[in-house]
Amino acid sequence: MNRLFQLELVKIADGFQTKSECLTYLTALLAESGCLSFPDRFLAAVKGREDIMSTGIGKGIAIPHARDLTVSCMKVAVCLIRQPLEFESVDDLPVQLVFMIAVPQSASKEYMKILRSLSEYLRQSENRDTLINATSETELYNDVLKIEEIITDSINS
């Protein structure tokens, strides 16, 4: 399995004007990593999913995601947003951590395991706090690598 998280896909941003701007930024990161053949189509799939129901899962976390034919390999772009962003979350709180998951059409079992492992990990307040308090992208990346280990174990079990 390729790495889900890569240093160049883990960013700290001061803030975004809108949820759409944030989603566009993360899609561009995934496109640069080489896993999206048609970024516009992937972004449309993510936004379509957001229109049905926000992926703001609460407690300052959003996990926008889409499974699409144009995705060549599974990757996760991560953004810590210093200025909390309105995301229409289930708890109506703004988000500070966004994990955008790009999933190939064929990977539905792994997809569900990644979503479950990620949301279970982020449910723990100490895990969220560690990520939110990261002072550099390298520190944030090292913190998300712990999540990758949990996800990899889940996929392989």
Which residues are known catalytic residues? 65
77 Cβ neighbours under 8 A, 6+ residues apart: 9, 10, 11, 26, 27, 29, 30, 33, 99, 100, 102
Could you tell me the two tokens for 129? 């706090």
Is 85:19 a contact under the CB 8 Å cutoff? yes
Task: Provide long-range contacts, Cβ within 8 A and 24+ apart, for 152-155.
Answer: 152/1, 152/4, 154/113, 154/114, 154/116, 154/117, 155/1, 155/110, 155/113, 155/114
